Structure 1
Amino acid sequence: MAGHSKWANIQHRKGRQDEKRGKAWTRVIREIMVAARQGGGDPSANPRLRLAIEKAKAVNLPADTVKRNIDKATGNLEGVNYEEIRYEGYGIGGAAIIVDCMTDNRVRTVAEVRHAFSKHGGNLGTEGSVAFQFKHCGQLVFAPGTPEDALMEAALEAGADDVVTHDDGSLEVLTPPADFEAVKTALEAKGLKPEMAEVTMRAENSIQLAGEDAQRMQKLLDVIEDLDDVQAVFHNAEIAE
């Protein structure tokens, strides 16, 4: 992936997530419920649930809310059943977009996602149309100035796949999804704390967008992210500030 604007893109994305903190609660609750329903309500035996609870703490979701929704998902309380759906499509300049949703109404969700794409210059594609351009992996991003040699040694020792150095000085540690939590814990134990850490769909190659195209792409992404059923949006656009 081209790295010249990697850090700017990460910071921009974090800023937009902070702006939408209220909606973050809804997304985290859905993630907790799906994780608990699929893997059980015991975080010690369910890595996906552990990660969801960590996200809940990051957005200050109350612990009793976390517990109540785990109970709903595991059948101890009555609750809504959500299913996971992934949509793929194209944005401005042919940029690839993946949209992960959790919904209790598949018909409503696909209509909303399709409308967002078509109204703002994109096209909803078929399953598999862009997913091959992404890698499912753990991603930990470190700020410029992080000691590269120390990070590389610690990351590879902990089981990471790769450490990528970007032109702007930021560093990116990539892990197999199953090893993400162990690598993150090992790095933090050595004082190496990432600015952003998640299991994600990482674009293998990027498309540079600037000027009006960059603005249109950002608008498209914002509209999709604002949909109620959308959990996460991944894309391969490097959007110039």
Structure 2
Amino acid sequence: MYSICRCVVFNANTKKAIWDNWRRNAGHSKWQNIKHIKALKDSQKSAVFTKMSRLIRVAVQEGKSSDPEHNVQLAQVVERARKNNMPVASIENAIKAAQNSKVASKPGLIELKGPAGSLMLVSVLTDNLAKTRTELLTIIKKTRATASDGGGRMFEHKGVFEVTPPAGVGFDVAEEHAIEVGAEEVHQLDGDVLQFICAAEQFYSVKKGLQTRLYDIRYAEQEYIPKSQVTLSDDILDELSSVYLKLEQHPDVVRIYDNIA
């Protein structure tokens, strides 16, 4: 069963260290603590909204339509923005701005090599891939992560769905449905949640097929899945958590995938 990395995950020790640092810097005042924590959350929210706006711009440009009803890619991004609690007004403003934008940002992939055989595939959205790559390499300069010329060959581009089947549909029937809609695999997750995996090119047709068969789609994204995984020590995981945090703060970074078990 594949292990999907959708976002940066910190272990408990790293989370505690981050918050302990914020508390120390905030001083002894409870109000100061609240202000610092709020500032951190606001900063994170702003970064997410900025990235959503950039994804909306690309979807409008590539789909050649600002109407989600006629642009499937845009509809997917808008759905994702809503799940990230982006206000409707902000989404609408981003779509309007995309219509008038002359900046042609494009998606790109930058692979980085970490210690102990770990790999990070950084998905970016930029109008200058070479410049973004240089900036990311500068960010990780003092870490053990380095540039890789793998070109993402150790990852597969797949469509990933997490769904709840309709009443009366068991795993055996779900396997039949997977074949019918064009999915490559189906896995049982927690409870009655199922995971369907398909080729990236079949993403929208599989989604439509699942909806037609009344599956409740809880998550639907195109992911980069590692072909093999590595198990790392806690010390290396802590080190890579710091690298992740630095990379995530770059405005061009959309998502980071890895091959860590």
TM-score normalised according to structure 2 size: 0.71
- Cα deviation for residue 207 of structure 1 reads 1.0
Deviations 1:45-66 (A, max 9, x none): 4322121111112123233332
SS at match of 2:80: helix
Indicate which of 168, 171, 188 corresponds to 1:148: 171
Given that 2:8 and 2:256 are in contact with CA atoms closer than 8 Å, whether structure 1 keeps it comes out as no
Closer, same or farther: CA 195–135 of 1 in aligned 2, 3 Å: same
Identity of aligned residues (%): 23
Structure 1, unpaired ranges of 5+: none
- Distance across 1 between alignment mates of 2:102 and 2:91: 13
**One-letter amino acid of the structure 2 residue matched with residue 98 of structure 1:** L
2:52 corresponds to 1:31 = no
Closer, same or farther: CA 124–11 of 1 in aligned 2, 3 Å: closer
Q: Give the CA RMSD over aligned residues.
A: 3.5
Q: What is the aligned partner in structure 2 of residue 43 from structure 1?
A: 68
2:116 corresponds to 1:82 = no
Given that 1:121 and 1:220 are in contact with CA atoms closer than 8 Å, whether structure 2 keeps it comes out as no
Given that 1:96 and 1:130 are in contact with CA atoms closer than 8 Å, whether structure 2 keeps it comes out as no
SS at match of 2:183: coil
**One-letter amino acid of the structure 2 residue matched with residue 139 of structure 1:** V
- Cα deviation for residue 136 of structure 1 reads 0.9
Q: What is the aligned partner in structure 2 of residue 56 from structure 1?
A: 81
SS at match of 1:131: coil
SS at match of 2:153: helix
Instruction: Summarize the alignment of residues 219-230 of structure 1 with structure 2, pairs less than 5 Å apart.
Output: 219-230=242-253
TM-score normalised according to structure 1 size: 0.76
2:121 corresponds to 1:98 = yes
Q: What is the aligned partner in structure 2 of residue 67 from structure 1?
A: 92
- Distance across 1 between alignment mates of 2:115 and 2:192: 28
Given that 2:8 and 2:244 are in contact with CA atoms closer than 8 Å, whether structure 1 keeps it comes out as no
SS at match of 1:57: helix
Closer, same or farther: CA 193–119 of 1 in aligned 2, 3 Å: farther
Given that 1:89 and 1:130 are in contact with CA atoms closer than 8 Å, whether structure 2 keeps it comes out as no
Which structure has the larger Rg over C-alpha atoms?
Answer: 2
- Cα deviation for residue 164 of structure 1 reads 4.0
Structure 2, unpaired ranges of 5+: 16-40
* Count of equivalent residues: 226
| Farther off after superposition, 225-234 or 102-111 | 102-111
